[in-house]
Structure 1
Amino acid sequence: MLLWINGPFGGGKTQTAHELHRRLPGSVICDPEQVGFGLHRMMPSDLRADFQSYPSWRQGVFEVLDHVLAEHDGVVIAPMTVVEPRYFAETVGRLREAGHKVRHFALLADRETVLNRLSDRGLGLAPVLRCIGQGDLLLRREQFAVDKLDYCLEQLSKPEFAEHIRTDTTTVAAVADRIADTVGVMLAPNNDSLLQGRLRRMAVTVRHARL
């Protein structure tokens, strides 16, 4: 089974995917973004565009996930923002047409909530930066995500991108629990303290920072 975790940039997809993976034995994370990064690395920087617009990205994501789903016994988790209906059809839809069991979830939150989460990628530096008059520095670093935010929220709210999960006041662990309950899999208990959970999420943020 494939769990595709969708949502706006900064909406909690990666954190949710890693929480599911941590607590679901035998699961693997297959990040479609890595296919896009590989395509970009093959090009000079001035030729790089949104990699989702490349047919090779959609084809590559389909082929990799089709192979993994056919050969791996456990749950496959794919955290990726996809908001264009045609791109969604050529990835999620095509995998379903190929006979794979695909469960899709769109993580939604209010605009301000997502902006706060984007700032939180600064690993707690937001209050310090605000004190020195640079409160928007972290968001400027995330300009692509900010520019796409309203469009992503509008698109992902549509029925074709269900199932929707509101995450404004819900912890990452609780979101993972809801997904697991919905698809009928059993997660290991979440025994993290508040501090352990925060440190774990910071580690995920560091590993996936775009430099």
Structure 2
Amino acid sequence: MIVWLNGTHGVGKTTTAALVQELLPGSHVFDAEKVGETLMDVRPALPPTGNFQDWAPWRPLVVETARHVLDFVGGTLVMPMTVLVEEYWREISGGLAAHGIPVRHLVLHAEPDTLRARILGDTVLGPSPFRLAYVDAYAHAARTWLHADAQVVDTTHRTAAEVAAQVVAALP
């Protein structure tokens, strides 16, 4: 199974994924951003974009990489990855379904003011214009398709440990 932790940049997906891994025996964290970083290494050959998810190879590579990793390590993959474009999510989730891989799609949510405060106050990554740029895109996706497609876990007034516990409790 794959536990996909969606939500915008700065909401706590990576932190939550590590805590979920501690709580869920046999689970492994797989960050699909690494697939994007690999594609960035061949960037001169790819068209310019502000987000590697826009490159057509990224989505099927995420599916195939996750499938092979899951076949190799077994258990559950916890995947913290923002996907705010519905077409991209349909391509990824459909590809995983075609391989018979069940996906539990959860969205970590925080109110926009909370997100901005977290991003601006991040002591590890520092304030990030890239992350701030996605707050409004997330709000749009949440309103139009994302919250209807996934189980929403509100992180606004919860600690990372509480969010991770709620994620694990939501699993079959």
The reply on whether 1:77 has 2:65 as its aligned counterpart is no
Identical-residue share of aligned pairs (%): 32
**Gap change, CA 1:163 and 1:44, over 3 Å in 2:** same
Equivalent in the alignment of 1:162: 150
Work out which of the residue numbers 132, 137, 143 in structure 2 matches 1:151: 137
How many Å separate the matches in 1 of 2:14 and 2:85?
20
Structure label with greater radius of gyration: 1
Q: For residues 70-128 of structure 1, what are the alpha-carbon distances to aligned partners after superposition, in whole Å with 9 as ceiling and x for unaligned?
A: 3332111110000111100111232123211110001111111111211232249xxxx
Q: Which runs of 5+ in 2 are unaligned?
A: none
Q: 2:59·2:92 contact (CA, 8 Å) conserved in 1?
A: yes
Q: Which runs of 5+ in 1 are unaligned?
A: 125-137, 185-211
The reply on whether 1:180 has 2:168 as its aligned counterpart is yes
Aligned residue type for 2:74? D
Aligned residue type for 2:134? K
Runs of 4+ with >6 A deviation:
none
> RMSD between aligned alpha carbons?
2.1
Q: Which has the higher strand share?
A: 2
How many Å separate the matches in 2 of 1:165 and 1:39?
31
How many Å separate the matches in 2 of 1:107 and 1:156?
11
Q: 1:106·1:161 contact (CA, 8 Å) conserved in 2?
A: no
How many Å separate the matches in 1 of 2:57 and 2:35?
9
Aligned residue type for 1:175? V
Task: Give the TM-score, by structure 2 length.
Answer: 0.89
Give matches, 1:69-148, under 5 Å.
69-123=70-124, 138-139=126-127, 142-148=128-134
SS at match of 2:75: coil
Q: 1:6·1:79 contact (CA, 8 Å) conserved in 2?
A: yes
Equivalent in the alignment of 2:22: 22
Aligned residue type for 1:37? E
How many Å separate the matches in 1 of 2:46 and 2:115?
29
Task: Give the TM-score, by structure 1 length.
Answer: 0.73
